[in-house]
């Protein structure tokens, strides 16, 4: 079990709560299926072992989510107000080689979820996230991504709503 609190954004916390609820529903369905399989005769309960394994996996996932949410520290202040990228900040990055822009939001590894509402969620542990944290509007930084070196500039820093 997790001893120290995990920092989460408010949106990330809500998404994890929704995920926990979905997992609880799936776990209840799996429990019912296991009961049905246990009551069935041997010819009908060929899926019992697989159902029990799935149930154990769901129970573990639910316990981990409950632990994470119980120990979460929700980030309520947005240091973007001071002009610097922190957990929960949304920034616009410009790829200096191509001129393309990308809206990103810095999140904890627990809440990363791809693109949400047109904003790419990047974690503090990712190469871009590690370089982005603490940057200010106008700052440039380089990131090694595979064999390529990317150079970005923070062109906008959006305040949380």
**What digits encode the pLDDT tens for the residues 19-44?**
999 999 999 999 998 888 877 766 66
76-119 tens-digit pLDDT: 655 555 788 888 889 999 999 999 999 999 988 888 778 888 89
Looking from the CA of 10 toward its CB, the CA atoms found within 13 Å total 6
Q: Computed over its alpha carbons, how large is the radius of gyration of the chain?
A: 21
Residue with tokens 């009961």: 35
CB 122 within 8 A of CB 135: no
- The 10 Å Cβ neighbour count of residue 49 is 10
115-147 tens-digit pLDDT: 888 899 999 889 999 999 999 999 999 999 889
Domains and CATH numbers, the chain: 6-75 (1.10.287.180), 79-158 (3.10.50.30)
Average pLDDT, the chain: 85
Assessment of whether the complete model's pTM goes beyond 0.85 = no
pLDDT at 109: 85
E strand or H helix at 67: helix 48-70
């Amino acid at each position: 079990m997790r001893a120290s609190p995990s920092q989460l954004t408010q949106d990330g916390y809500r998404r994890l709560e929704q995920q926990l609820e979905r997992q609880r529903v799936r776990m209840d369905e799996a429990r019912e299926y296991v009961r049905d399989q246990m009551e069935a005769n041997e010819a009908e309960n060929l899926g019992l072992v697989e159902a029990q394994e799935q149930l154990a996996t769901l129970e573990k996932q639910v316990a981990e989510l409950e632990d994470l949410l119980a120990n979460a520290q929700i980030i309520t202040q947005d240091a973007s107000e001071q002009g610097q990228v922190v957990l929960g900040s949304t920034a616009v990055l410009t790829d200096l080689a191509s001129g393309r822009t990308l809206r990103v939001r810095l999140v904890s590894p627990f809440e990363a979820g791809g693109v949400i509402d047109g904003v790419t969620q990047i974690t503090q542990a990712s190469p871009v996230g590690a370089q982005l944290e603490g940057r200010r509007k106008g700052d440039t930084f380089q990131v090694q991504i595979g064999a390529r070196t990317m150079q970005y500039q923070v062109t906008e820093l959006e305040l949380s709503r």
